[in-house]
Amino acid sequence: MTQDEEGKGFAAAGPASSHAIHTDSMGLEAGLATLPGGAPAYYAKVDGGENLPVLLIAEEIFGLHEHIRDVARRFAKLGFFAVAPDYLIPYGDPMGAPDIDAIRAIVAKVPDSETMRVFDEALAFAVSRGADPTRAAVTGFCWGGRIAWLYAAHNTSLAACVPWYGRLDGPRTAEQPRWPIDIAAELRVPTLGLYGGDDPSIPRDLIAQMQEKLAEAGASADIIVYDDAPHGFFADYRPSYRAQEARDALGRMIAFFRAHGVI
């Protein structure tokens, strides 16, 4: 595996914290692929593994950096064909952006409709390599958590969806016309949201509104809130990381996948 395939560091996301998790690629087939529309995607799976469940991973606003690639390798070692498409790069590279405002400007340009197509292509890529389309799930972190909600509404054939602290509401634009709270009544894919109670960007009352809309729609969905956890509590390379909550949430995610036949 080349250095580029192994990882790009963290760049605008900031230097890695001392507690950043590093997952090696021993026993894995892992690297970069180019999807039909031109988007790069990092994938990882057990070497020689066949008929594996698919996990689509939606990156944070910081791009396809080493943490997201590491997450793909972690899930590959749990038996998934993990694919993390870079749906932001056609509009600018967050890895090279000078600050958070520049990153947000890139993200604001990315049409949700195009992002949905990129994830369709990522799923098709995994299936073309022998993965099982009937056991496909999506997860995502931060902005990617928002994308996970939207993709579950877009692709009703998914077996499960697990968004991590994805924004539930925000400005509606031509590029990004809907938010998770707008699609609650349409959600048919079993979904487990993992959120922090100490996250000012996603207030508790907004989470409660989303829970109410999901309940009114009879959606097979729930949101777990970790009272003292901040935004980004799974991001082990950042100061926001909370090891206890991250471990518990990951365990719940795996149990949720098992309950819905993904694994």
Catalytic residues: 142, 199, 231
The count of other CB atoms within 10 Å of the CB of residue 49 is 17
Secondary structure letter of residue 186 according to DSSP: G
Q: In what order do the strands lie in the sheet containing 28-34?
A: 28-34, 40-46, 81-85, 53-58, 132-141, 160-164, 191-196, 221-226
Pairing of strands 40-46, 28-34: antiparallel
The count of other CB atoms within 10 Å of the CB of residue 13 is 23
At residue 27, what are phi and psi to the nearest 5 degrees? 80, 5
d(CA 206, CA 210): 6
Half-sphere exposure of 37 (CA within 13 A, CB side): 18
Q: Which ranges in the chain belong to alpha helices (H)?
A: 3-6, 66-77, 100-108, 112-128, 143-154, 180-183, 204-217, 243-259
d(CA 31, CA 2): 8
> In this structure, are residues 119 and 92 in contact, taking their beta carbons and an 8 Å threshold?
no
